Chains A and B, each alone.
Chain A
Amino acid sequence: MAIQVEPVPRLRILWGNRRVLQLLVSRDLKVKYADSVLGYFWTILEPLMMAGVYWFVFTQLMDRTLGQEPYIVFLLAAMLPWQWTNSSLRASMKALSKDSKLVRSTNLPREIWILRTVGSKFSEFFLAIPVLVFFAVVNSAELSWYVVFFPLAVLLQAVLLVGAGLALAPLAVLYGDVERLIRILTRLLFYFSPVIYGVSDVQDKLGGVVADLYILNPLAGIFDLYRTAFFPGEWAGWGAVGVSALISFAMLALGITVFRRLEGSVLKEI
């Protein structure tokens, strides 16, 4: 029988190592921003460019039928959290192999390497928020009191991303194809998530069963919740958020199980 560490002591060990986690995340930021003057710029460049392209296509080339005005604010409010999702999923698959020497030479609870990845990507997301604020101010978008739900949206997304990361990190080490597969799936996920359109667009245009199925994508409820800060009229309500919460925590449970089961094999491979 392998060493079985019960979930609760495991959590306690992780909590005991929160300072180490903080150290790792701040080191990531340091490495990212110390070396290049453009460090910050690189973080916001991708979401900004993508938002710019969609804004151009949907408002300048075509007549916008999706989302709300100001569309650039509508886009960015979901594009930034999307960027957190996308970069977290990708980095999670390398979380154990990229710093394999560190992983092999320290006896930390291995979950910390995934928490560190999601945490680093979150700090980048957080630092990109001024960009959204800038566009909101320029376009005089009004901030509603719904902004108080921002922390809830962050929490749900963090739970989801940590869960997915815990499952993907060991799988990517053991199966070479996982990384390629996930790259394709995340690209699809982008279009199946309410970034260039809103959840209410799906409900209005498709309705019924399709709309019900649509909110099974946990990102739907989460992104919608971020957006209510600027577009309370668009909000699809708590139903989608509830589904997101349920799926996010289920993902976390799955992630913990997969990670626990594969940990021993992964340590032999890295």
Chain B
Amino acid sequence: MAPVIEADGLGISFKRNRRRNRRLRDLLAGRAPAKRKKKGEFWALRDLSFSVEPGEAVGLVGGNGQGKSTLLKLIAGVLLPDEGRLRVHGGVAPLIEVTGGFVGDLTARDNILLTAGLHGLSKAQIAERFDAIVDFAEVRDFLDTPFRHFSSGMKVRLGFSVVTTLDEPVVLVDEVLAVGDRAFREKCYDRMGELLSGGRTLFLVSHNEADLRRFCTRGLYLSGGSLVSDGPLEDALTRYREDATRRRRPPRPTE
């Protein structure tokens, strides 16, 4: 089967300082501005090459600021690489900033319709899944409450519920499991298990080794923006643990 995700020499750079020293010349020049080596520029990810087959469950391992979230955002298509290629075949259901798509002033009902619509569900599909979304998120009694009055737990529940009902073949999960009470977390685990057994491809970022072991068979270990290890999850976890005890890395800005 053809891989769902193919990365080849993938790289993205950020500016270290906040000053935006972009020049009009970059705009007019034939090549992309990021190719030029500039002072104060650092590569959050560089030379990443890997491919993921359909149905694989991949855990991303690494310390803070080592590029895990950036990689998920690249796969989700909300960041664009500065070098290399990334091909994602089929759509992505991003559980990154799950509450991002919601508008505080609109009611939960309107928000479900809007967000599901923005993620590409048709009116008929939304109508069909509406009850399931509401029941899973346990917000039946608050459908006409403005979203900004929701507790943070309710917000995440609703976000998780909407995004996991999408039909996209790739599911990206960034630390959302850390939020929510124990009961809801169990529901999330079950839902993710269902998605996996339904043949979805899963990308999971977590600092919780138990979560990773529960779902993932393969582990990518990112350190300093490079792919240090790619193989069985246990290998990645071992490398990560070794590195973490051997040295203390200076903190790096994430974005």
Binding site for B on A (CB under 8 A): 1-3, 17, 19-20, 23-24, 27, 30-31, 35, 101-108, 174-176, 258, 261-265, 267-269
Q: Closest approach, in angstroms, between the C-beta of A194 and any C-beta of chain B? A: 31
Decide: B91 and A107 in contact? CB cutoff 8 A: yes
23 contacts between A and B (CB under 8 A): A1-B83, A2-B32, A17-B120, A20-B118, A23-B114, A27-B106, A31-B103, A102-B101, A102-B118, A104-B100, A105-B78, A105-B94, A105-B101, A106-B78, A107-B92, A107-B94, A258-B27, A261-B27, A262-B27, A264-B32, A264-B80, A265-B22, A268-B15
How many contacts A-B (CB < 8 Å)?
Answer: 89
Give the CA-CA distance A267 to B118 in the complex, in Å: 18
Interface of chain A, helix or strand or loop or mixed? Answer: helix
Q: Closest approach, in angstroms, between the C-beta of B65 and any C-beta of chain A? A: 15
Give the CA-CA distance A17 to B34 in the complex, in Å: 30
Q: Closest approach, in angstroms, between the C-beta of B111 and any C-beta of chain A? A: 10
Interface of chain B, helix or strand or loop or mixed? Answer: loop
Top 7 A-B residue pairs of the complex, sorted by shortest distance between their CB atoms: A105-B100, A264-B80, A107-B77, A101-B100, A23-B117, A105-B101, A105-B97
Decide: B100 and A1 in contact? CB cutoff 8 A: no
Q: Count B-side interface residues using an 8 Å CB cutoff.
A: 40
Q: B13 — nearest CB in chain A belongs to which residue?
A: A268
Contact of B79 among A20, A106, A267 (CB under 8 A): A267
Residues of B within 8 A of A101 (CB): 97, 100-101
* B76 on interface, CB distance cutoff 8 Å: yes
* B227 on interface, CB distance cutoff 8 Å: no
B residues 76-106 near A (Cβ < 8 Å) are 76-86, 91-92, 94, 96-98, 100-101, 103, 105-106
Residues of A within 8 A of B76 (CB): 107
* B14 on interface, CB distance cutoff 8 Å: yes
Decide: B22 and A174 in contact? CB cutoff 8 A: yes
* B138 on interface, CB distance cutoff 8 Å: no
Give the CA-CA distance A35 to B105 in the complex, in Å: 9
Decide: B81 and A3 in contact? CB cutoff 8 A: yes
* B20 on interface, CB distance cutoff 8 Å: yes
* B255 on interface, CB distance cutoff 8 Å: yes
* B55 on interface, CB distance cutoff 8 Å: no
Supposing A101-B97, A106-B118, A107-B94 touch, asked if A268 and B14 sit within 8 A by C-beta, the answer is: yes
Binding site for A on B (CB under 8 A): 12, 14-15, 20, 22, 27, 32-34, 73, 76-86, 91-92, 94, 96-98, 100-101, 103, 105-106, 110, 114, 117-120, 122, 255
Beyond contacts A2-B34, A104-B97, A265-B22: 17 other A-B pairs, Cβ-Cβ < 8 A, are A1-B83, A2-B80, A2-B81, A3-B81, A19-B117, A20-B118, A20-B120, A23-B114, A27-B106, A31-B103, A102-B100, A102-B101, A104-B73, A105-B94, A105-B100, A107-B77, A268-B255
Decide: B33 and A265 in contact? CB cutoff 8 A: yes
Decide: B101 and A106 in contact? CB cutoff 8 A: yes
Decide: A261 and B32 in contact? CB cutoff 8 A: yes
Decide: B86 and A3 in contact? CB cutoff 8 A: yes
Q: B70 — nearest CB in chain A belongs to which residue?
A: A268
Give the CA-CA distance A264 to B13 in the complex, in Å: 10
Residues of A within 8 A of B32 (CB): 2, 261, 264
Decide: B118 and A23 in contact? CB cutoff 8 A: yes
Give the CA-CA distance A186 to B203 in the complex, in Å: 47
Q: Closest approach, in angstroms, between the C-beta of A153 and any C-beta of chain B? A: 31
Residues of B within 8 A of A267 (CB): 78-80
Decide: A1 and B85 in contact? CB cutoff 8 A: yes
Residues of A within 8 A of B106 (CB): 27, 31
Residues of A within 8 A of B15 (CB): 268
Interface centre among A1, A35, A262 (most CB of B within 10 A): A1
Q: Closest approach, in angstroms, between the C-beta of A176 and any C-beta of chain B? A: 8
Residues of A within 8 A of B97 (CB): 101, 104-105
Q: Closest approach, in angstroms, between the C-beta of B133 and any C-beta of chain A? A: 17
Q: B24 — nearest CB in chain A belongs to which residue?
A: A175
Residues of A within 8 A of B80 (CB): 2-3, 263-264, 267
Q: B168 — nearest CB in chain A belongs to which residue?
A: A107
Residues of B within 8 A of A261 (CB): 27, 32
Interface centre among B76, B98, B118 (most CB of A within 10 A): B118
Decide: A264 and B86 in contact? CB cutoff 8 A: no
Residues of A within 8 A of B114 (CB): 23, 27
Q: Closest approach, in angstroms, between the C-beta of A224 and any C-beta of chain B? A: 33
Decide: B78 and A20 in contact? CB cutoff 8 A: no
Q: A103 — nearest CB in chain B belongs to which residue?
A: B78
Residues of A within 8 A of B83 (CB): 1-2
Q: Closest approach, in angstroms, between the C-beta of B91 and any C-beta of chain A? A: 7
Residues of A within 8 A of B86 (CB): 3
